[in-house]
Amino acid sequence: MDINSMTVGELKEIAAIAAGLGGGCAAKKTHSIPVGDKVFVRTVTMSYTGRVAAVTDYDMVLEDAAWIPDTGRFAAFLADGTLNEVEPFPALAILPLGAIVDISPWNHELPRQVK
């Protein structure tokens, strides 16, 4: 089959078949990041706390966000909310999903003071 000799109708049929298989551009992506939840996010270079304001196919928006340059002992940090160093964002933080390593629930107050 020569793709250059295909009709527009034939191309539409192929596109419809591909979309039905979930491989088309129209396929909706899903995620398990709960909007409204407080989270701790590790990316390939930095770590953040914040409340999930939105998630798109490409990024996650955090409000009340803070950069966490030093967590100290990681288990204590997650269990007790013990923070060694904090740099709050003055506005929203937008994180590309492709840079995220993991996301943990943050069951503590979100840090808003520099430490």
pLDDT tens, 47-91? 999 999 999 989 999 999 999 999 999 999 999 999 999 999 999
pLDDT at 38 over 70: yes
CA distance linking residue 80 with residue 73, whole number of Å: 10
Q: What is the mean pLDDT of the chain?
A: 87
Domain ranges of the chain: 1-28, 38-105
- Judge contact between 52 and 82, C-beta under 8 A: no
> At 29, is the pLDDT very low, low, confident or very high (cuts 50, 70, 90)?
low
Write down the pLDDT at residue 26: 54
Domain 38-105 has CATH 2.30.30.100: yes
Strand partners, 59: 96
